[in-house]
Amino acid sequence: MARVPSGVGPETQVRCTACGTTFKLKEVTTALQQPKTDSGEVRPSEESVDAVVGATLGGFHIIEEIGSGGMGTAYKAVQLSLDRLVAVKVLSKQFTQDPKFVERFLRESKVMSALDHPNVVTIYDRDRQGDLLYFAMEYVDGPSLGSLLRTCGGRVNVGEAVRITRQVGAGLSYAHQEGIVHRDIKPSGR
């Protein structure tokens, strides 16, 4: 995760603390934290998963929840027009009434849609249906890095660690070259 000092905005020259690359920012986003219970578990978002699963948003039929984060929930879906699996990220209802969060969500999808790299997911579409704001993106099948690490007790062999690190680094390097810092890198979607 790249940390950018408070008050730093687009068009500011910065140096990545992870890799040392210096570049001009195009976009700055802030990672939000999901509310947690006293035991430290993430509380479910206020929208009901049941209300979205099985529904159709625009041209996307929602199959199941696949992850959640500070701003919303991601679902596995089928893009009906092309009969392909996609991921649909829905902005949490608590944020849809706040113009600042709506603008940030729309800006995030637009910035991501301009990226074209094998280690960065592709954004296909964004839209609003009723009070739900969402964007559809490439669906990457398989376990998250977090899931893989839990399965193998937190250890992978050196070759696998290098392979994963190179892929993540290549995607982040490309984003840096495009002036984008992703400040919420984590091994899983939660």
**Each residue's pLDDT tens digit in the chain (190 positions)?**
344 444 445 566 666 655 666 666 555 443 333 333 444 433 344 444 457 899 999 999 999 999 887 778 999 999 999 999 999 999 988 888 889 888 888 888 888 899 999 999 899 999 998 888 999 999 999 888 888 888 988 888 999 999 999 999 999 999 999 988 877 777 775 5
Task: Reply yes or no on whether 38 is catalytic.
Answer: no
Catalytic residue (choose from 98, 125, 141, 184): 184
Q: What is the DSSP code string of 11-39?
A: T-EEE-TTT--EEE-SB--------B-TT
List, in order of start, the domains of the chain with CATH numbers: 1-30+143-190 (no CATH), 46-141 (3.30.200.20)
This prediction has a pTM of 0.69
What is the radius of gyration, based on Cα positions, of the chain?
Answer: 17
